[in-house]
Chains A and B, each alone.
Chain A
Amino acid sequence: MDKIELKNLLFLARISADEKEHTKIIEKLKNTFDLIDEMQDLDLSDLEPLNNPLELNNVSREDVNNDRNSKGEFLNNSPESDEDYFLVPKIIE
């Protein structure tokens, strides 16, 4: 893990961190990676991958409409809106 990789990671997660903090962050991440490396060394070939620690079956719902739309409130709660839309900085295509 170097500074360039860290910058990419911070960008992907949209996290801003001061340059001065970078060394500290890299050190913390390195600890995590070391732990992962340790796990990689274990022989897990006879185990199924664990996708969720809860031994539950997901619940589903019937395909029935329940209108909880509150357009005005939703729009007003956003940083910027007009009467119909959420407004965001211009996306250049």
Chain B
Amino acid sequence: MAQNDTIIKGWQPVIGLEVHVQLMTNTKLFSPAKNKFGEDANTLVDLIDMGLPGVLPVLNEGAMKQGIKFGLATSAKIAKTMIFDRKNYFYPDLPKGYQITQLHFPIVKDGVVDVNGKEIRIHQAHLEEDAGKSMHDKYDNKSVIDLNRSGVPLLEIVSEPDIRSAAEAVDYLKKIHQIITYLDISDGNMSQGSMRCDANISIMRPEAEEYGTRAEIKNINSFKFVEKAINFEIKRQIKLLENGGTVEQETRLYDSVKDETRSMRTKEFANDYRYFPCPDLVPTNISPELIEEVRKDMDELPEEKEARFRSEYNLGDYEAQVLCSEKTTANFYEEVCKVSDPALSAKWIIGEVNALLNKHDVSLNESNINTKNFSNLILKIKDGTISGKIAKEVLEEMWEEGSDPIEIIKSKGLEQISDEGELEAIAQAVIDNNSSQVEAYKSGKDKLFGFFVGQVMKETQGKANPGAVNQILKKLLAN
């Protein structure tokens, strides 16, 4: 079970993740109110979300189908019959005093995802409703409640404790993110809370047969914090155990400002949720016909898309994998390929475009680069109007201004000089002005060839066609 490279100071971390994913339905899980982020407070609230006496929840078929989709995508068992339970606790953002969730008979059981060639098992995924939102800054002595989020459908995806390091936890989370965005069942936006993560962490000696006592870390809202929170917690537990202490089974909060986890004071928060089947909702049967209907409606999964990209666009494993890592990038690439060269487009997306996205930490959708202006850029590289070096400049300008590369090339006079006569004149002038280098080159200093190329590029502000320059210089210097 233990993997040597994940052992820290003789301890094997054991990690399981609970990922809450907000489903992208039109309406809430049990009410017909709109499911939308960022609207005015308390404008997306139904009588059912208010928990008014006498109202009855009615299950949203859309949410059920999205849950089934996730199950199919992770080779899981879809329940023949699922049952909703009440989880009872009092908090002001939960008007009913209970959350409707699934405990023993969830919609999805026993799934599996491939993370870097290793299988991470999914224990279950269940449907439940989100709570409202409480805020504490508006008044000194009051908190305020917004119920727009109350009743928004969540799919809680619970992994088995198969994860062995913080880095692997991040990769698993990215995989889940990839699956849910490919399936179009969630936008997976962690900063807006549509994907949230709790981590169960324990440590054990590699030869031990039982897991150690685990602590649960709540409130982790970015990929970066998942890694940091888990690493902090592993170190904390190692220190504790090596100093003769014991790990308490408790819930801890991750504080990203201080980069530490803190106990939520076990006793005060000790919860006894008194789960029981929700009497308002009788057992829900899921028919094979419904599962088939969902299967037919399913979008291509990442692995399928990668395989198709390899054969259809003649890409290598690495290229296909990078292009398919996010659905938006894959769609962008396919759109560009309709008019542009697939190999060249792939090279530029994987290299220069990704570099810009990483540098500015934004997604392709949020950037000024679109399929139209990017296709034009590729066309201009392909037909030799601009060199690769100039193309980088043009891309930067597109990034900043969102303008069309054809306009940029025209207004800045960036067309590549391929005219042989013009280039030959410039090359001849370079040779005439650098007689000592010419002599050295001719006496065997081959490396100086690059110097001449550089000089011609300098004279033309980088606009000379590099292939043509090479040929002309070779010819002239051979004389």
Partners in one complex: yes
> Which residues from chain A sit less than 8 Å from chain B, CB to CB?
8, 12, 14, 51-52, 54, 56-69, 71, 74-75, 80, 82, 84-91, 93
Q: In the assembled complex, how far is the CB of residue B264 from the closest CB belonging to chain A, in whole angstroms? A: 10
Chain A residues closer than 8 Å to B425, beta-carbon distance: none
> Is A91 a contact of B143 with CB atoms below 8 Å?
yes
- Pick the most buried of A14, A62, A86: most chain B CB atoms within 10 A of its CB: A86
Q: In the assembled complex, how far is the CB of residue A53 from the closest CB belonging to chain B, in whole angstroms? A: 9
> Is B139 a contact of A87 with CB atoms below 8 Å?
yes
Chain B residues closer than 8 Å to A85, beta-carbon distance: 41-42, 135, 138, 144-146
Enumerate B246-292 residues with CB–CB distance to A below 8 Å: 272, 274, 277, 279, 281-285
Total residues of chain B contacting the partner, CB 8 A: 49
Chain B residues closer than 8 Å to A67, beta-carbon distance: 32-34
Give the docked Cα–Cα distance between A59 and B30 (Å). 11
Whether B3 is near chain A, meaning CB under 8 Å from some CB there, is: no
Give the docked Cα–Cα distance between A33 and B142 (Å). 41
Kindly identify which residue among B27, B59, B146 contacts A64, using a CB–CB cutoff of 8 Å.
B27
Kindly identify which residue among A52, A57, A75 contacts B277, using a CB–CB cutoff of 8 Å.
A52
Chain B residues closer than 8 Å to A80, beta-carbon distance: 142
Contact with A along B36-63 (1 / 0, CB 8 A): 0000111111110010000000111111
Whether B243 is near chain A, meaning CB under 8 Å from some CB there, is: no
Main secondary structure on chain A at its contact with chain B? loop
> Is B44 a contact of A84 with CB atoms below 8 Å?
no
Given contacts A12-B272, A60-B284, A65-B33, A90 and B58 within 8 Å (CB-CB) = no
Chain A residues closer than 8 Å to B136, beta-carbon distance: 90-91, 93
- Pick the most buried of A51, A54, A75, A84: most chain B CB atoms within 10 A of its CB: A51
> Is B147 a contact of A51 with CB atoms below 8 Å?
no
Task: Write the chain A residue with the least CB distance to B45.
Answer: A69
- 10 A-B residue pairs with Cβ-Cβ distance under 8 Å, sorted by A, are A58-B283, A60-B284, A61-B60, A65-B32, A69-B42, A69-B46, A84-B146, A88-B134, A88-B144, A89-B141
- Pick the most buried of B44, B274, B283: most chain A CB atoms within 10 A of its CB: B283
Give the docked Cα–Cα distance between A91 and B27 (Å). 29
Q: In the assembled complex, how far is the CB of residue A88 from the closest CB belonging to chain B, in whole angstroms? A: 4
By Cβ-Cβ distance, the 7 closest A-B pairs, closest first, are: A63-B62, A85-B144, A66-B32, A58-B284, A86-B145, A88-B92, A60-B59
